[in-house]
Amino acid sequence: ETGVTQTPRHLVMGMTNKKSLKCEQHLGHNAMYWYKQSAKKPLELMFVYSLEERVENNSVPSRFSPECPNSSHLFLHLHTLQPEDSALYLCASSQDSASHSSGANVLTFGAGSRLTVL
């Protein structure tokens, strides 16, 4: 384990379901990320939270809704998803880029949540 924990590890849901992915980090980081990983494609940055404020939202459909209640927790709420949303969703954390510490720009990843939309 790297210090970033994602649950559930596997999720199967229908197109009309509502579910949430959870990410938790205990590394003292203040920036958290959601990435989507699909086969044979680059990781797609979905959302970035820095100091609990959303700073990046890369044209992600509104059926994905992030929530960052504090610097240690990040959620991705899912509703009315499509089969093409099936992928591995990776959470990561880091120090904010404004920090000039030596590890500021290194992302620590969780193991991912494998999502299948039927």
Partner 1 sequence: AQTVTQSQPEMSVQEAETVTLSCTYDTSESDYYLFWYKQPPSRQMILVIRQEAYKQQNATENRFSVNFQKAAKSFSLKISDSQLGDAAMYFCAYRSLYNNDMRFGAGTRLTVKP
Q: Give the binding site for partner 1 (CB under 8 A).
A: 1-2, 31, 33, 35, 40-43, 45, 48, 50, 55-56, 88, 90, 92, 94, 96-97, 105-112
Query: Nearest to residue 75, comparing CAs of 40, 98, 46, 99?
Result: 46
- Shortest distance (Å) from residue 43 CB to partner 1: 4
8: preceding bond cis by omega (within 30 degrees): yes
- Shortest distance (Å) from residue 16 CB to partner 1: 28
- Shortest distance (Å) from residue 74 CB to partner 1: 13
For partner 1, give the closer residue by CB, 7 or 97.
97
- Shortest distance (Å) from residue 14 CB to partner 1: 24
Count of all residues that appear for the chain in the document: 118
For partner 1, give the closer residue by CB, 54 or 77.
54
| The pair of three-digit structure tokens given for residue 43, joined into one six-digit string | 């990781």
Residue pair 88/116 in contact (Cβ under 8 Å)? The answer is: no
For partner 1, give the closer residue by CB, 45 or 60.
45
β-pairing, 10-13 vs 4-7, is unpaired
Residues 52 and 78: their CA atoms lie apart, in Å, by 20
